[in-house]
Structure 1
Amino acid sequence: MSLTISIRFLTGRANLHHWQAHHSDGKLDWPPSPWRLLRSLVAVAGRGMTSLPWPPHMAEMTVVVPGTKTVSKKGIPKPTQEKLDWQKAKRRLRLVELLTDGEAAQFRTANPWQGFDAALKELQARALRQVPVALCDTPNDDLGINSLISLLSSMSDAPEIWLPRSSHGHTRQYFPIHEEGIVKPSGVPVFDTFAVVDKNLPVHFQWPYLELSEADPQLNELRRILSRMTYFGRAESWCEATAHVGLKLEEGPHTSYWKCVCAGGVGQHSASIDDRNFIVERKLAPIPIQTEQFRNEVLEFVWRVTPRLTREAFRQTLLAESNATMLLRCLLRESSADIASNLDRPIGTRWVHYAVPRAIFDLPSPRPKTRLRPQETIQVVRYALNSVTMNRPVLPPLTDTLLIGGKFRDAALAIYGVVTGKKNWFDYDEADPYPRNLCGHERDRKPLCGHTHAFFWPTDEDNDGFLDHVTVYCPAGFEQSEVDALRRLVRIRQRGGRPDLLVTPVFLGKAEAFGPWQLKPGAEPVRSFVSATPYFCPLHLTHGKNGSGKLRPITPILQRGLVEYGITADVKQIDELVFDYAPADLAEVCESIAANVARQPIPPRQFFPVIEPPSTFPSLSQPDGSCNSRYKGACIRNADDPQYPFGLTVGLLVNHSTRFVRTLSFCRRRRDAEVKGPGRLFRITFRETQPPRPFALGDQCHFGLGLFVPEMESAVR
């Protein structure tokens, strides 16, 4: 049965260069040469399995002679003088050719000092050790050298090479220089080429006419060698090699392999070598060892390139060896030695031509792979705002909270519609994916009940009066298609000729993983939440036409809104935050009332002195004393009191408490929706500590209005 050697490249790359080729010439030895395979087998066997002799050209017959400036050759015949060379610059003595005892005695007579005598004896002893001897088995070898010779001779014919689909790749880098532990580029560019193959498809070398069986000892020896082969070609071409007997490989329209046959060798390809479906590649293969050409070439070239010291002795050894043993000696030679000898190919090889099918390099067009993403639960998507400007960002003012929240929702729905091809969210069919959490409506256009869909909260994190972040929060969690739409949101248009807003996602994940909404270790507990944007009551507080203008209390409406949002904690107190026109004077009035110096009503806050004091009058506001920068110097009043004293205004401070923003200046319209009634600011205090997570109540709470943010206890009076 036929023998097949399979080599699988573990990294999908094969760094193989032609013989005598520069590393940057861009050429690649693909398919691999048969000569490369045989040399790899010899190299693996020589690493601990077989004792291999050193090649003759590696013998270095030089020795340093200390204290010697020159070597005298007086009285020595000319032919004998050429056998010993003195390198004056390095003070080395080099033995060119083996000396007889008489010739050695002549050199000792001409140079009678002790150092020269010791150096000459060392060279003579070293030369005797370097005289080539016949190859024979060593008792302690795991694989005998004769077994290796027999194995190599059986595979000396050019094999068929089966290649999978492959292509050529390259890298560009610079040779590094190591100086004092620092790696620096040398400036020498390297164009490194390699073959790219599938990691799971090996390259097959097949000898169809080599008869082997599973019980053959040669097969077991070959498998032991291949099991120790870790790379093929350069050291970075990691591989796994195996041997098979009787492996059947076939060509066809749906095959994964194509056969490359040596044209003119055993098993010649049926197609002409000039066929346009094939590429002709020149490869190195052994000269058939049964021919006289192989023996004559080895005897001639090996004798020519062998050092003079052992040339004649080596020739006599070669004459007594078989052709199979000569093949091993050729495989043991270093390529650098043959290149230095100006040979156009290694000794014992020939140039053969392989017909390589072009279909090997016809790679299919790459198709984008559908990556299965894990189904992650996304509740919070946080964006940072910027603008396309040179000097500083032009951000929207805090008063555009409702407008920016609505634009975010519209932009997300528009991006969602790009994928599905629907212009409006109410055009989706039953089979289409539906942005339920983004639009806040069912498929029948009815609004969703509760507050489980998306909130769009524009916020001013640095309290400079301009919106710099947008938080999109969905308690029920977004669908994956909705998350994809939010990921693609990168730009929002502004009104008033301002440059477009650039939005950058800075967080995607669960609410429990969002850092600003978690209580940090050592932080103060949170019981109070204060308005960051005005609260607009979703109901009319009047009792209708027959109510005589009497207003209903707002505290129950706020508490009902907390329950609808999902907060069932017990509320301790709800205060309304206002600003007085003269807070210092108000403090004095409150102190006077507390000391029974003055009585209510106090003009001009509770009535004008042009009339008599009324029987019913609004209660006075009390100084808050809060350290919150938004409400520095603010006052608190009873939220359910229907009457307001004179001199109050509703708003909040921004830009380090230097600028006052009234609630009346906040944008109240979003598309077809408009908030009505006055905007009011509150502080809600719970009896128990709460997680520092903001919430929104009231009309248009899903678009930034009625937003309550946590307030530390140290900031509350």
Structure 2
Amino acid sequence: MLAIAFRFPGGRYHATPWGRHVNEAAVAWPPEPWRLLRALLAVWHRKLDPARWPRTRLSALLDRLATEPPQFHLPPAVPAHSRHYLPTRDKTTLVFDAFLRIEAGQPVHAVWPALELDADQLELLDALLDGLGYLGRAESWVEAVREAPPAGRQPDCVPVEADADAENGGGGDGGEMLRLLAARPAAGYAGFRSRALTEFGRARRIADTLPADWLDALAVETGALQKAGWNRPPAAIEIPYRRRPARPSAPRHDRRPGPAIDTVRYALYGRPLPRIEDAIRVGEWLRSTVLRACHPPVPALISGHDLPPGNPHAHAFWLAESAGGDGRIDHVLIHMPDGIPAGVFGVLADPGKLREPARRRPAGDGDADDTDTRAWQLLPEWFG
């Protein structure tokens, strides 16, 4: 048996399936065998010394990996995406960045149950895995090593034969049917290439994507294949897999009680701001604002009435603050020494505007019955 563990220290796996647009926000899961082989081939080209690791040894190793489709043991993964508005000339273009969130220490195991490699092939494979920095897109940092999955655990995604069970959509144990790209073995590719050249002729755009060498066929750029009109890489085949229902995520940990929240601070927005000499009046206005926002019965801690005997100062304190130091009140605070009750948080999150009580205009300034009032927006900054 051969087993490889892939861990994603960044906690993300980015990979767009073949033939899908990036804005479909689809993620190739599990990593396709085709992607795995191309990643190992890229490591050999970029990081290994061909004199130490000859091309013939690499071809033999990858051909062995292509002869048997692997099984996969998958960790819990959560699909997510971010949206990016990229400037293009006089407008912006929306681009989706889809990925799977994976706990950093949880591995993906690819297992070839019947595959046995000799010592030279294992040595080369270890060198390739050691040089593998990412899998999928460059954001998918990866650490890969030969490692068996936990004993007794069943694979989550397995290849299935094209039998009645597969055609009926997944068999008795449920699961999702999907098709993963895998590399054709070298002999299978040679036969396919011969038939393709006979059928399509030797048009340059086709012939250029059908190199005679199997490793070269694995390395053909995706853009060149799409430009030539291939609906899948000619060196690849689709293998039906059954992916079992997702395992439940890790159990939630009980929250530990933290310190009680006893203060809320608001920024005051409006022109002009009250002067610090009016701090007591502003405190009264703040209390009136919260009282109006409360549904009856008003909590005793807010009203200050009917407090328990022996604790007459457990009510809310209404405070004004000049954080800018310019003599203007730009913040207000509500403090409750014994903590803010849970039922009051909703009111304090949006108490409405802080309003000065209506007052008559000075004589001679407008009609005698006119009144004047000022209001300021209360924006909660923090609870603590």
Question: Given that residues 14 and 233 in structure 1 are in contact (C-alpha distance below 8 angstroms), is that contact kept between their aligned partners in structure 2?
Answer: yes
Distance 2:145 2:383 in 1: 49
Distance 2:329 2:149 in 1: 72
Distance 1:24 1:161 in 2: 27
Question: Given that residues 153 and 327 in structure 1 are in contact (C-alpha distance below 8 angstroms), is that contact kept between their aligned partners in structure 2?
Answer: no
Residue from 60, 74, 93 that aligns with 1:150: 60
Q: Which amino acid aligns with 1:162?
A: H
1:508 Cα deviation after fit? 9.1
Counterpart in the other structure of 1:232? 135
* CA shift digits 1:562-602 (9 cap, x unpaired): xxxxxxxxxxxxxxxxxxxxxxxxxxxxxxxxxxxxxxxxx
Question: Given that residues 290 and 351 in structure 2 are in contact (C-alpha distance below 8 angstroms), is that contact kept between their aligned partners in structure 1?
Answer: no
Counterpart in the other structure of 1:160? 71
Distance 1:397 1:329 in 2: 78
Counterpart in the other structure of 1:18? 17
* CA shift digits 1:32-75 (9 cap, x unpaired): 22111101101011113143xxxxxxxxxxxxxxxxxxxxxxxx
1:261 Cα deviation after fit? 1.3
Distance 1:287 1:148 in 2: 15
Counterpart in the other structure of 1:332? 219
Matched, 1:9 2:13: no
Matched, 1:169 2:34: no
Matched, 1:198 2:103: yes
Counterpart in the other structure of 1:260? 157
Distance 2:149 2:383 in 1: 58
Q: Which amino acid aligns with 2:218?
A: L
Counterpart in the other structure of 2:41? 42
* CA shift digits 1:513-536 (9 cap, x unpaired): xxxxxxxxxxxxxxxxxxxxxxxx
Question: Given that residues 384 and 468 in structure 1 are in contact (C-alpha distance below 8 angstroms), is that contact kept between their aligned partners in structure 2?
Answer: no
Question: Given that residues 160 and 166 in structure 2 are in contact (C-alpha distance below 8 angstroms), is that contact kept between their aligned partners in structure 1?
Answer: no
* CA shift digits 1:341-390 (9 cap, x unpaired): 43343233222211123436x889x98996987789x9x98766567xxx
Counterpart of 1:330 in 2: which secondary structure?
A: helix
1:275 Cα deviation after fit? 3.1
Distance 2:35 2:22 in 1: 17
1:228 Cα deviation after fit? 1.4
Structure 1 pair 198–385 and aligned structure 2 pair: CA distance change class (3 A): closer
Distance 1:488 1:355 in 2: 49
Counterpart in the other structure of 2:177? 280
1:231 Cα deviation after fit? 1.2
Question: Given that residues 416 and 481 in structure 1 are in contact (C-alpha distance below 8 angstroms), is that contact kept between their aligned partners in structure 2?
Answer: no
Distance 1:359 1:461 in 2: 52
Counterpart in the other structure of 1:342? 229
1:404 Cα deviation after fit? 5.1
Higher relative contact order (CA 8 A, sep 6+): 2
Question: Given that residues 129 and 144 in structure 2 are in contact (C-alpha distance below 8 angstroms), is that contact kept between their aligned partners in structure 1?
Answer: yes
Structure 1 pair 375–334 and aligned structure 2 pair: CA distance change class (3 A): same
Give the 5 Å matches for 1:98-137.
Answer: none
* CA shift digits 1:303-354 (9 cap, x unpaired): 976979x99xx99xx6xxxxxxx54343233334444443343233222211
Residue from 295, 303, 307 that aligns with 2:190: 295
Structure 1 pair 198–455 and aligned structure 2 pair: CA distance change class (3 A): closer
Distance 1:154 1:424 in 2: 77
Distance 2:378 2:7 in 1: 49
Question: Given that residues 12 and 199 in structure 1 are in contact (C-alpha distance below 8 angstroms), is that contact kept between their aligned partners in structure 2?
Answer: yes
1:204 Cα deviation after fit? 2.0
Counterpart in the other structure of 1:32? 31
Structure 1 pair 146–302 and aligned structure 2 pair: CA distance change class (3 A): farther
Give the 5 Å matches for 1:302-701.
Answer: 327-359=214-246, 401=280, 405-406=283-284, 408=286, 423-425=299-301, 443-445=308-310, 447=312, 456=318, 468=329, 478=337, 481=340, 488=349, 490-491=351-352, 492=354, 495-496=357-358, 502-504=377-379
Counterpart in the other structure of 1:211? 116
Distance 1:153 1:210 in 2: 12
Q: Which amino acid aligns with 2:132?
A: M
Q: Which amino acid aligns with 1:230?
A: G
Distance 1:153 1:229 in 2: 19
Distance 2:321 2:49 in 1: 77
* CA shift digits 1:144-192 (9 cap, x unpaired): 3233223212211111122233344344435556xxxxxx676444344
Distance 1:195 1:22 in 2: 17
Counterpart of 1:46 in 2: which secondary structure?
A: helix
Structure 1 pair 269–208 and aligned structure 2 pair: CA distance change class (3 A): farther
Indicate the RMSD between aligned Cα atoms, in angstroms.
Answer: 5.4
Counterpart of 2:121 in 1: which secondary structure?
A: helix
Counterpart of 2:132 in 1: which secondary structure?
A: coil
Question: Given that residues 4 and 247 in structure 1 are in contact (C-alpha distance below 8 angstroms), is that contact kept between their aligned partners in structure 2?
Answer: no
1:272 Cα deviation after fit? 6.1
Give the 5 Å matches for 1:44-63.
Answer: 44-51=43-50
Overall identity of the aligned pairs, in %: 26
Q: Which amino acid aligns with 2:75?
A: P
Q: Which amino acid aligns with 2:65?
A: M
Distance 2:59 2:93 in 1: 42
Question: Given that residues 176 and 185 in structure 1 are in contact (C-alpha distance below 8 angstroms), is that contact kept between their aligned partners in structure 2?
Answer: yes
Distance 1:14 1:337 in 2: 25
* CA shift digits 1:220-251 (9 cap, x unpaired): 33222112111111222222222214653624
Question: Given that residues 16 and 28 in structure 2 are in contact (C-alpha distance below 8 angstroms), is that contact kept between their aligned partners in structure 1?
Answer: yes
Question: Given that residues 12 and 99 in structure 2 are in contact (C-alpha distance below 8 angstroms), is that contact kept between their aligned partners in structure 1?
Answer: yes
Q: Give the TM-score of the pair, scaled to structure 2.
A: 0.68
1:207 Cα deviation after fit? 0.7
Counterpart in the other structure of 1:711? none
Counterpart in the other structure of 1:558? none
Q: Which amino acid aligns with 1:210?
A: L
1:416 Cα deviation after fit? 11
Distance 2:141 2:106 in 1: 14
**Long gaps (5+) in structure 2:** 360-372
Question: Given that residues 416 and 482 in structure 1 are in contact (C-alpha distance below 8 angstroms), is that contact kept between their aligned partners in structure 2?
Answer: no
Counterpart in the other structure of 1:78? none
> Greater Rg, structure 1 or structure 2?
1
Distance 2:287 2:4 in 1: 64
Matched, 1:223 2:223: no
Q: Give the TM-score of the pair, scaled to structure 1.
A: 0.40
**Long gaps (5+) in structure 1:** 52-137, 178-183, 252-257, 319-325, 426-434, 510-717
Counterpart of 2:15 in 1: which secondary structure?
A: coil
* CA shift digits 1:650-685 (9 cap, x unpaired): xxxxxxxxxxxxxxxxxxxxxxxxxxxxxxxxxxxx
Structure 1 pair 176–206 and aligned structure 2 pair: CA distance change class (3 A): farther
Moved more, 452-461 or 486-495: 452-461
Question: Given that residues 8 and 107 in structure 2 are in contact (C-alpha distance below 8 angstroms), is that contact kept between their aligned partners in structure 1?
Answer: yes
